[in-house]
């Protein structure tokens, strides 16, 4: 299958008749999988089940030759000319439009720039400024409150607190399911994660957005765990701002730049708190006074990270001909099948499913809480046996399912090995299964767990430019 071939939308695979036994069912589901051949677009080890694409996506085969060309020719021979002749200068908007197609944004609204954390800061401060200006123009009470998802990835909370201090607001953490009722006349902006990074719970983007707007406030969505895994519909649902990383389901690579979505209607009012020279209307005029550029270019700050940006652009070639609806259908089929396999293989009471079972409330990962063992040793042993996921202390195992390259046989093997590990590490097992394995399974994280640490640690973790 060529990379340009269009893959038709596929029905949910879980609707097919199920053969007896998980292994036979996996074989039947793989045979019916319309995305099966897409796996060949990625660099993967056949002896390893990689279920950590929700932390770092696999390397697409399209990236190494493209980077070699950029380094040897565009940088090596063309040098400064490449800013114009190789399209370096316009890459943030060009790549932004490609990401926009995956998150439901029309061209001209997404720019690739900086890290997720920096883009959260830009979006939240700009949203507060717009909301406060609206209140002043309408003679309404001052909007001096920022709502933040109480279960958010920590950096979003840190950034929101700093933005609140900077804008004279009060920060109020609220459970995501309560934001629609918590938003009020003093709320300036709500910052919400689309998918919870611990549990994989998918939050109600259309409903929350509508409720925030009905209260006269603005909303910023963090799409780190949903972009590339499920439909988002930013334009369709009237989202104001959105941010996200590109190294998870978009497979942009470690340190790949993040993106910022600014709805077209708000772009003339987007007052960035980081007005760098790259977002100037005349960046090479070198004027002492700042004049913002038009459109999504206002989201730029400094010189783009060209090597990482062009690696991301090449990585997005893996999406050629693929509809996000097909990806979502397979994601749900994969996670459904994993839950069935866990139920079939793992003895009752050893793990508890944390991720919602309802499709409308599930992202593309499954989180399991260990009933009697800490999650770290369990995941360390899983990795040693060739099943790579990650964990969140103290007791949550996370398994991410990337439909572009994860197969149903991978899922069956992961659940079967999990059952074996829990048996071997349990009170009736042969003791510490990792002991005597010949060395550590991964580097020690910042917390000193001796196994994949939390966000920001090494192998099996969610390390990246938040």
**Could you tell me if 201 and 362 are in contact, meaning their C-beta atoms sit under 8 angstroms apart?**
yes
From the list 130, 381, 114, the residue with the least C-alpha distance to 258 is 114
Q: Among this protein's residues, is 222 annotated catalytic?
A: yes
In 383-452, the DSSP E strands lie at 387-388, 390-392, 396-400
Per-residue tokens: 240 = 């104001």
Q: Among this protein's residues, is 398 annotated catalytic?
A: yes
CA angle, residues 140, 142, 143, in degrees to nearest 5: 110
Give CA–CA dist 40/245, Å, rounded: 24
Strands 259-262 vs 387-388: parallel, antiparallel or unpaired: unpaired
From the list 147, 241, 149, the residue with the least C-alpha distance to 190 is 147
Helix (H) or strand (E) holding 158: helix 154-167
The DSSP-derived string for 30-77 is HHT-TTGGGGGGEE--TT-EE--TTTSPPEETTHHHHHHHIIIIIIII
Q: Among this protein's residues, is 259 annotated catalytic?
A: no
How many Cβ atoms are within 10 Å of 347's Cβ, its own excluded? Answer: 11
From residue 114, give the alpha-carbon distance in Å to each of 247, 274, 443: 13, 11, 27
**Could you tell me if 94 and 129 are in contact, meaning their C-beta atoms sit under 8 angstroms apart?**
no
Bridge partners of 202, per DSSP, are 195
- Helices within 204-360 (DSSP H only): 205-214, 306-315, 324-345
Instruction: Identify the active-site residue in 122, 218, 398, 466.
Output: 398
CB-based burial label for 9 (10 Å; 0-12, 13-18, 19+): middle
Query: DSSP label at 130?
Result: H
Instruction: Identify the active-site residue in 42, 197, 247, 337.
Output: 247
Per-residue tokens: 355 = 């991720």
Place of tokens 């690579």: 253
Q: Is 221 helix (H, G, I), strand (E, B) or coil?
A: strand
Q: Among this protein's residues, is 284 annotated catalytic?
A: no
Q: Is 95 helix (H, G, I), strand (E, B) or coil?
A: helix
Give CA–CA dist 466/455, Å, rounded: 10
Give CA–CA dist 259/7, Å, rounded: 26
Instruction: Identify the active-site residue in 39, 248, 330, 362.
Output: 248
Q: Is 464 helix (H, G, I), strand (E, B) or coil?
A: coil
Instruction: Identify the active-site residue in 33, 222, 390, 449.
Output: 222
| Cis omega (within 30 of 0) for bond into 269 | no
Active site residue ranges: 153, 222, 247-248, 398
């Amino acid at each position: 299958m060529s990379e340009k071939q269009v893959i038709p939308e596929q029905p949910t695979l879980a609707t097919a008749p199920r053969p007896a036994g998980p292994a036979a069912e996996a074989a039947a589901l793989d045979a019916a999988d319309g995305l099966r051949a897409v796996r060949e677009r990625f660099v993967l080890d056949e002896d390893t089940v990689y279920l950590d694409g929700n932390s770092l996506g696999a390397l697409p085969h399209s990236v190494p030759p493209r980077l070699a060309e950029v380094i040897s020719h565009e940088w090596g021979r063309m040098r400064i000319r490449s800013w114009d002749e190789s399209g370096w200068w316009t890459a943030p908007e060009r790549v932004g439009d490609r990401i926009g197609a995956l998150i439901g944004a029309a061209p001209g609204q997404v720019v690739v720039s900086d890290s997720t954390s920096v883009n959260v800061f830009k979006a939240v401060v700009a949203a507060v400024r717009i909301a406060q200006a609206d209140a002043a123009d309408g003679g309404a009470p001052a909007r001096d409150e920022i709502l933040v998802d109480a279960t958010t990835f920590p950096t979003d909370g840190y950034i929101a607190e700093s933005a609140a201090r900077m804008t004279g607001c009060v920060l109020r953490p609220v459970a995501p399911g309560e934001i629609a009722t918590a938003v009020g006349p003093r709320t300036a902006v709500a910052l919400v994660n689309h998918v919870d990074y611990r549990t994989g719970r998918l939050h109600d983007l259309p409903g929350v957005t509508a409720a925030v707007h009905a209260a006269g406030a603005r909303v910023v969505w963090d799409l780190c765990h949903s972009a590339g895994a499920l439909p988002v519909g930013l334009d369709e649902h009237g989202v104001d701002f959105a941010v996200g990383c590109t190294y998870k389901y978009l497979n942009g690579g470690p340190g790949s730049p993040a993106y910022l979505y600014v709805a077209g209607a708000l772009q003339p009012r987007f007052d960035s708190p980081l007005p760098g020279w790259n977002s100037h209307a005349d960046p090479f005029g070198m004027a002492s006074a700042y004049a913002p550029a038009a459109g999504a270019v206002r989201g730029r700050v400094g010189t783009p990270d060209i090597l990482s940006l062009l690696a991301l652009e090449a990585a997005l070639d893996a999406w050629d001909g693929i509809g996000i609806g097909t990806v979502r259908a397979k994601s749900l089929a994969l996670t459904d099948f994993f839950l069935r396999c866990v139920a079939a293989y793992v003895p009752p009471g050893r793990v508890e499913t944390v991720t919602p079972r309802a499709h409308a409330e599930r992202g593309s990962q499954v989180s399991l809480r260990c009933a009697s063992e800490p999650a770290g040793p369990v995941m360390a042993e899983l990795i040693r046996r060739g099943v790579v996921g990650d964990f969140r202390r103290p007791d949550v195992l996370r398994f991410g399912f990337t439909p572009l390259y994860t197969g149903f046989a991978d899922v069956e093997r992961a659940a079967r090995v999990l059952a074996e590990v829990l048996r071997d590490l349990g009170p009736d097992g042969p003791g510490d299964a990792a002991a005597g394995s010949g060395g550590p399974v991964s580097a020690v994280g910042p917390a000193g767990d001796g196994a994949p640490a939390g966000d920001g640690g090494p192998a099996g973790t969610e390390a990246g430019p938040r």
